[in-house]
Structure 1
């Protein structure tokens, strides 16, 4: 039996994550995740994210993890998940307001990081025209498998668009802007350190568009007006970006992503032949 990892060429996940416009969603996820004070403070106190000399390497590792989790064979997925769990195990954050110490890998924190990531992919995919209502629900349902990789109880994970909306509404009261979130955002809009200049410029441009894709309440937390016109113009931009990138040749990618592209093209040809 061929090992296509968690998802495979017939999944909605592969179709979504192979689209270049999803880089915007990745940046959106980082901006949204930063609004949880405990998650952000714990990251600040234990991570290289805020060190300009190390932040790009950490960013690369995050990208590699998402790529392996999405497209890699099961053995590689298991190893990647085990590495993340070991890195988080035993790490603690300190809340200066309450004086409380807490675990970095606490279930509520892990769930927030997962949900903010998937909700960001979902939002950009829908607005760029990649997903309709049915495929959007399928995408969220498939994402439960990704949550399990880092040790999240699948029974607690939103598995539909409606459940994701309910979860986001429930956690919203605890979200706010902190100094740590401002510093993290600053590293996205003005990247420094080891990243080549074209990469830094690309990250800054994608982050600027990603900021505009955030929900209105989140844009207000970042100090921007939450205007409906921003939503409309950003949706048009996402659709245009998806069309434009779809006309360009694929950029070189790691072997598992190149193989996923090949398998997805083959699956689409088979579907077209059956439909014809």
Structure 2
């Protein structure tokens, strides 16, 4: 009979990858390629994305992205988030990890694949002023918004719940600009100041709607195993805590509290992230595959266990 820890590990891996105990086949493909990729193991991006904080950052990114009516309309009309929200999560993780850990060819191919999928994502939406407009997922303005939301979310979550990382926040924004360029974003931000300026340019376009509230219901309560539901509620609260007051107000969310007293979210989030790390292991299969590729292209070989 499997131990409770073994069951937890299988459930966690299935939530993040949809493949249960075995890592998805695409992770092994990250060992292929003839260069070290866009990010090395000492980079800010590698440090942030190999930690547990993107678990919180991913939730925050979904919340923030939903506030742009154009982006929300595309997700609402063309995504299967209602039927398979965890599948959508797994696809997003695959792209992020391929860009982070893959060779430059793999990162470019993954981004081109996503952009091809986006070609059919078109339609109309009602903007914050009540005017009907057309949208396209590959529209540079919407692509920028999605990139900004991801960058701000992952950075904010790591600054609140993670450890220090090489170069700090400005370095992370500068490095992750590569991901924006791969997706067709021109002149993405390369510092925290530029990130804040570009985000603020969208302030007048953000709005809540019935679509946002419908999506929010799924983000709040995804179909997770019973063993993960309390932990997810804590991570969701942690993501909400990193949003700006205005973004929380637009979403209709508030910080957890008892009467007038706010609850201490951070210790609980750190506890859950520690449990996830215990369940998933110190090094994920994507990172391990990337390290094998890097050693190979640099002409290095892993140490012999018999002599180490």
Task: Name the TM tier (shorter chain).
Answer: 0.7 to 0.9
Kindly tell me: are residues 253 and 63 of structure 1, through their superposed partners in 2, closer, same or farther at Cα, counting changes over 3 Å?
farther
Q: Is the 8 A contact 1:16 1:22 kept in 2?
A: yes
Q: Decide whether aligned partners of structure 1 residues 230 and 251 sit closer, same or farther in structure 2, where only a CA change above 3 A counts.
A: farther
> Greater helix percent: which structure?
1
CA distance, structure 2, for counterparts of residue 232 and residue 136 of structure 1: 27
Equivalent positions of 1:101-180 (< 5 A) are 101-131=134-164, 134-153=167-186, 155=187, 157-180=188-211
User: Counterpart of 1:22?
Assistant: 54
Consecutive unaligned residues in structure 2, runs of 5 or more: 1-32, 295-308
Q: Is the 8 A contact 2:155 2:169 kept in 1?
A: yes
Quick one: which of 39, 57, 60 aligns to 2:87? 57
Corresponding residue for residue 83 of structure 1: 113
The Cα offsets for residues 166-195 of structure 1, whole Å up to 9 and x where unpaired, read as 112221121111211112111121113xx6
Higher alpha-carbon Rg: 2
Segments of structure 1 that go 5 or more residues without pairing to the other structure are 265-276
Aligned length: 257
Shift of 1:251: 2.4
SS at structure 2 position matched to 1:3 = coil
| Alpha carbons of structure 1 residues 4 and 246: separation in structure 2 relative to 1, 3 Å | farther
Partner of 1:223: 252
Q: Which residue among 103, 107, 132 is the counterpart of 1:73?
A: 103
2:118–2:137: 8 Å Cα contact kept in structure 1?
yes
Task: List per-residue Cα deviations over 1:131-175 (Å, max 9, x = no partner).
Answer: 47952111100011111121222x2x1110111111122211211
SS of 1:126's partner is helix
TM-score (norm 2): 0.72
The RMSD of aligned alpha carbons is 3.2
Matched, 1:100 2:130: no
